[in-house]
Amino acid sequence: MLTVLSGVLMITGALLAVIAGAGLQRFENVLSRMHAATKPATLGLALVLIGAAIQIPDPRSGVKLLLVILLQFSTAPVGAHLVGRAAYGAGPEMRGRIDVDELAMDRPEESSASG
Amino acid sequence: MIVVTSVTMGLLAVAAVLCIVRLVRSGSLADRTVALDTLLVIVVCGIATYAARSNSGLFLDVLVVVALLGFTGTALVARFIERRGA
């Protein structure tokens, strides 16, 4: 029973990774690609690692896997925020596609310069 | 369990190939950063799958290191892009 559960979890997580790969190919700009790529970074990784933790009998391995999940859940949003802000600052052509542009309100001198 | 981990490994391999294609064919540095970050997540998933397949926690320390290094690298490149542009 537990084996079935762990198998389902691991395959679901791997499917999320494939979906992210497809999203990386299909979407046309950096921010929408990040939208696809950040799903396996938290949910997919957590599913695969929980599946592995169920499968490995040693409880110390479970603690290590839990530590990796915690690390990833705390660092993935920070990394995505940094990359998104850098992509926004580097690509002026993207700014016209954003409906609500709160970063432009923080940088009034740049938005007035670019029109 | 062998069948399940084989299927998982296969799916992860497909995802890794898609990431590498994006990495090679992309236009900007931010694109490559996103693709590399996803590739590292897939590597972590693959190591965990191998650990489940072989029933041993031998490689799990590597997981912690790779997860931390992935974040460090992403943050570093993002800061670099923001300083330099492009």
Question: Is A71 in Cβ contact with B71 (below 8 Å)?
Answer: yes
pLDDT of A108 higher than 80: no
What chain B residue is nearest to A73 in terms of C-alpha separation? Answer: B67
How would residue A113 be classed by pLDDT, with cut points 50, 70 and 90?
very low
For chain A, which domains are there? 2-114 (1.10.287)
Q: Does A69 touch chain B (CB under 8 A)?
A: no
> What pLDDT was estimated at residue A24?
92
pLDDT at residue B86, rounded to an integer: 53
Q: Measure A50 CA to nearest chain B CA, in Å.
A: 9
Q: What's the pLDDT tens digit per position in A13-63?
A: 999 999 999 999 998 888 888 999 998 899 999 999 999 999 988 889 999
Give B-chain residues touching A87 at CB under 8 angstroms: 28, 30, 81
Single pTM value for the model: 0.88
Q: Does A60 touch chain B (CB under 8 A)?
A: yes
Question: Which residues in chain B are contacts of A31 at CB distance < 8 A?
Answer: none
What is the pLDDT at residue A107?
65
- Distance CA(B78)–CA(A87), nearest Å, equals 8
Q: A83 vs B22: CB contact, 8 Å cut-off? A: no
pLDDT digits (tens, 9 = 90+) for B58-72: 889 999 999 999 999
| Nearest CB neighbour to A7, from listed B4, B35, B44 | B4
pLDDT at A91: 66
Task: State the Cα angle at B53 between B52 and B58, rounded to 5°.
Answer: 60
Per-residue pLDDT, B10: 96
Check CB contact of A91 with chain B, cutoff 8 Å. yes
Give the nearest partner residue to B55 out of A37, A56, A85, using CB atoms. Answer: A56
* pLDDT tens profile B9-39: 999 999 999 999 999 987 788 889 999 999 9
Under 8 Å between Cβ of B20 and A23? no
Is A94 within 8 Å of chain B by CB?
A: no
Mean pLDDT across the stretch A71-91? 88
- Residue A114: pLDDT over 50: no
What is the mean pLDDT of the segment spanning B51-64? 90
pLDDT for position B13: 96
Nearest CA to B74 out of A110, A29, A43, A37 is that of A37
B56 CA: distance to closest CA in chain A (Å): 7
- Tokens representing B1 are 């369990």
> How far is residue B24's CA from residue B58's CA, in Å, rounded to a whole number?
33
